């Protein structure tokens, strides 16, 4: 697939993915590469523009991430952001040193409207700054195009060479007109036409899958989550009944979830595919008996999932392709794309089956960010409740039952969670919070029901707002909503006599309880 591409060269900044997402939001496809990537490889991508990210280092220190100066001579526009801006100046003969005043936070920047980057941007605009070093002298040929009280060169450019640099971060939302600036870069400087559109992506991907799979067969593990659902629908539209989806119900799904997945993907649903549901609840509960340690539970659930999947695959026999719902952040975080080495190992439940007989892996969503997966889902007409559902961890309720998992506890947390979700939705809060669920604490306490003393479990309710799930705030759900859910839970869920609301943010807590 030929499409115009902007390359983000990652110098270890925390916002590398955000830059790529913002560029894509402008309608231009964007990929992230580590600064260790060879110039030849970058040239092969034939980019319309290159963006240098921020990073934690000082560019003048020995061993700091750098790049060959040749990149500025390719005739491809380059935009440096924060560290990227400093590095550009440093490499081209300017001067970077420790700033007399560190700038951090939202800062008013005075922009020069004659710069292509600042076309249609206000003359005074709030931008997000975060730097200890500053550019004290411009490289030859550059002129300043923005300044702040403490920073004479908040932006600079050499228009004749299409080189631009911003000391602040246009990619974060705190920079009020940042998106406009990035859009100016890709359209006015790089001359992009904006050919990254979801409808054409979906159509092209379906064609490409058809061509690749031919008359072969493909196998897909379906969890009912957004990624695997969208991957399955794309595959089904491309190859119909040459696709088999295996859905493993590990008994740790939300209430009625297994049936919901079956209603959509099973024989009475709208899609042409072979659907196999494996009810493996008992098997998982057996393996998890007596296990209390969260990471061990995750491991057991992930491994058992693979074993069940393998057994089903064996029954089907050899297939040509194994479908994986990998998305672009997985690719970047696994170190293939950018500079980030953080892998949330526990988030990649499953991994690859060892004993499935297939020739090749097919990853139809490999190029997409999460929000793009949802858009693709919309294009494909998957039901809203599948495309826009809140995240649900692979190990499911297994990490929402503190301590040992039993079938009885699963039922308790399922029922309480269903009530909490109903009440949140009834109050219209489902659109305002990003994740909300019930967890079963391992705490038993004394209560009184009628005239009787009880000694039962406490349910914890959680609702958080977050944009990236790396940090989160506990949501201020109105008391009456919590109150109604509380009385329903203690009345309707057996062996629960107490309900707690978790007021903790992340950090210091995590979103899940385990
Ligand atoms: P935490 O609890 O780490 O959660 O604040 C952040 C986000 O990640 C999800 N999460 C998981 N997802 N497997 C998953 O697939 C896991 O083991 C796992 N643990 C946490 C969590 O639901 C939240 O959205």
Domains, the chain, ranges and CATH? Answer: 5-189 (3.40.50.880), 198-387 (3.40.50.620), 400-501 (3.30.300.10)
Confidence grade of residue 349 (pLDDT, cut at 50, 70, 90): very low
Cβ of 393 below 6 Å from ligand 1: yes
502 lines ligand 1 (CB under 6 A): no
Whether 169 sits among the annotated catalytic residues: the reply is: yes
Residue 329: pLDDT band with limits 50, 70, 90:
confident
Our answer on whether the CB atom of 346 is closer than 6 Å to any ligand 1 atom is yes
Q: What is the pLDDT of residues 484-513, one digit of tens each?
A: 999 999 999 999 999 999 999 999 999 999
Residue of 469, 470, 473, 509 with the most ligand 1 atoms within 8 Å of its CB, for mutation: 469
Tell which wins on pLDDT, 334 or 444: 444
In which band, very low, low, confident or very high, does the pLDDT at 344 lie, cut at 50, 70 and 90?
very low
- Integer-rounded Cα Rg, in Å, for the chain is 26
Q: What is the mean pLDDT of the chain?
A: 93
Residue 138 has pLDDT above 80, yes or no: yes
Q: What is the pLDDT of residue 351?
A: 56
pLDDT at residue number 282: 97
Instruction: Provide, rounded to the nearest whole percent, the portion of the chain with pLDDT above 90.
Output: 87
Q: What is the pLDDT of residues 20-37, one digit of tens each?
A: 999 999 999 999 999 999
pLDDT average, residue stretch 437-444: 97
Asked if pLDDT for residue 154 goes beyond 50, the answer is: yes
- Distance from C-alpha of 514 to C-alpha of 512, rounded to nearest angstrom: 6
Which of 509, 512, 513, 514 for a ligand 1 pocket mutation test, highest count of atoms within 8 Å of Cβ?
512
Is the shortest distance between the CB of 389 and ligand 1 below 6 Å?
no
- How far is it, in rounded angstroms, from Cα 473 to Cα 255? 26
Whether 343 has a pLDDT exceeding 50, the answer reads: no
Give the number of residues written for the chain.
514
**Distant-in-sequence contacts of 208-214, Cβ < 8 A, 24+ apart:** 208/1, 209/234, 209/235, 209/238, 209/239, 209/362, 209/364, 210/238, 210/239, 212/321, 212/362, 213/238, 213/239, 213/242, 213/320, 213/321, 213/362
The pLDDT value recorded for residue 29 is: 96
- Ligand 1 center to residue 139 CA distance, Å? 45
285-318 exposure pattern, b = at least 16 Cβ within 10 A, e = fewer: bebbeebeebeebbbbbbebbbebbbbbbeeeee
pLDDT per residue as tens digits for the range 211-224: 999 999 999 999 98
- The ligand 1 atom at the shortest distance from the C-alpha of residue 510 is 5
The dihedral built from the CA positions of residue 375, 377, 379 and 384, taken in this order, carries a sign that is negative
Give the pLDDT of residue 135: 97
477 lines ligand 1 (CB under 6 A): no
Task: Name the band, by pLDDT with cuts 50, 70 and 90, for residue 386.
Answer: confident
Reference 442, options 304, 292, 296, 220; nearest CA is: 292
Q: pLDDT at residue 342 above 50?
A: no
- Residue of 489, 389, 483 whose CA lies nearest to 441: 489
- 303 part of the active site: no
Q: Scanning the structure block, which residue is given the tokens 């949330």?
A: 344
The alpha carbon of 393 and the centre of ligand 1 are apart by a number of angstroms equal to 5
Q: 348 C-alpha to center of ligand 1: Å?
A: 10
Q: Is 325 in the pocket of ligand 1 (CB under 6 A)?
A: no
How far apart are the CA of 181 and the centre of ligand 1, in A? 34
Phi, psi values for residue 277, rounded to 5°: -105, 130
- Predicted confidence (pLDDT) per residue in 117-136, tens digit: 999 999 999 999 999 999 99
pLDDT at 497: 97
Q: Is the peptide bond before 492 cis (omega within 30 degrees of 0)?
A: no
The question of whether 90 is a catalytic residue gets the answer: no
Residue 288 alpha carbon to ligand 1 centre in Å: 19
Can you give the pTM of this predicted structure?
0.85
388 vs 98: which has the higher pLDDT: 98
pLDDT at 350: 46
**Ligand 1: which of 511, 513, 514 to mutate, most ligand atoms within 8 Å of CB?**
511
């Amino acid at each position: 697939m030929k499409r115009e591409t902007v390359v983000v060269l990652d110098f270890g900044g925390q916002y590398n993915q955000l830059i790529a997402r913002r560029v894509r939001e402008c309608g231009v496809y964007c990929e992230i590469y580590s600064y260790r990537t060879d110039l030849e490889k970058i040239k092969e991508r034939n980019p319309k523009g290159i963006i240098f990210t921020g990073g934690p280092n000082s560019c003048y220190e020995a061993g700091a991430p750098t790049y060959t100066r040749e990149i500025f001579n390719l005739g491809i526009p380059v935009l440096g952001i924060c560290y990227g801006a400093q590095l550009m100046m440093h490499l081209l003969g300017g001067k970077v040193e420790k700033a007399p005043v560190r700038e951090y936070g939202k800062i008013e920047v005075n922009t020069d409207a004659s710069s292509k980057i600042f076309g249609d941007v206000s003359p005074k605009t709030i931008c997000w700054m975060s730097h200890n070093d500053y550019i004290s002298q411009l490289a030859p040929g550059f002129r300043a195009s923005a300044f702040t009280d403490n920073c004479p060169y908040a932006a600079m450019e050499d228009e004749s060479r299409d080189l631009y640099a911003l000391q602040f971060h246009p990619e974060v939302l705190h920079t009020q007109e940042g998106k406009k600036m990035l859009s100016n870069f890709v359209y006015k400087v790089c001359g992009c036409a904006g050919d990254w559109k979801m409808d054409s992506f979906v159509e092209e991907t379906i064609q490409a899958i058809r061509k690749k799979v031919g008359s072969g067969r493909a196998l897909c593990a379906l969890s009912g989550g957004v990624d695997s659902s969208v991957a399955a629908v794309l595959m089904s539209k491309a190859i119909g009944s040459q696709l088999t989806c295996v859905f493993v119900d590990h008994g740790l799904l939300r209430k009625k979830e297994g049936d919901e997945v079956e209603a959509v993907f099973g024989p009475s649903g709208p899609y042409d595919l072979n659907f196999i549901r494996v009810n493996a609840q008992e098997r998982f509960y057996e393996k998890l008996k007596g296990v209390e340690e969260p990471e061990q539970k995750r491991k057991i659930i992930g491994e058992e999932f693979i074993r069940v999947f393998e057994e089903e695959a064996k029954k089907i026999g050899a297939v040509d392709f194994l479908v994986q719902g990998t998305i672009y952040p997985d690719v970047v975080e696994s170190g293939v794309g950018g500079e980030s080495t953080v892998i949330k190992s526990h988030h990649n439940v499953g991994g690859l089956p060892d004993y499935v007989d297939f020739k090749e892996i097919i990853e139809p969503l490999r190029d997409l960010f999460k929000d793009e997966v949802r858009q693709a889902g919309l294009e494909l007409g998957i039901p809203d409740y599948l495309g826009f559902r809140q995240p649900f961890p692979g190990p499911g309720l297994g990490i929402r039952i503190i301590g040992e998992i039993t079938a009885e506890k699963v039922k308790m947390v399922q029922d309480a969670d269903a009530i909490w979700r109903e009440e949140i939705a009834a109050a219209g809060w489902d659109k305002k919070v990003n994740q909300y669920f019930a967890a079963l604490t391992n705490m038993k306490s004394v209560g009184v029901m009628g005239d009787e003393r009880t000694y039962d479990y406490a349910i914890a309710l959680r609702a958080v707002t977050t944009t990236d799930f790396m940090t989160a705030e506990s949501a201020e759900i109105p008391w009456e909503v919590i109150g109604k859910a509380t009385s329903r839970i203690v009345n309707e869920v057996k062996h629960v006599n107490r309900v707690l609301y978790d007021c903790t943010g992340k950090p210091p807590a995590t979103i899940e309880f385990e």
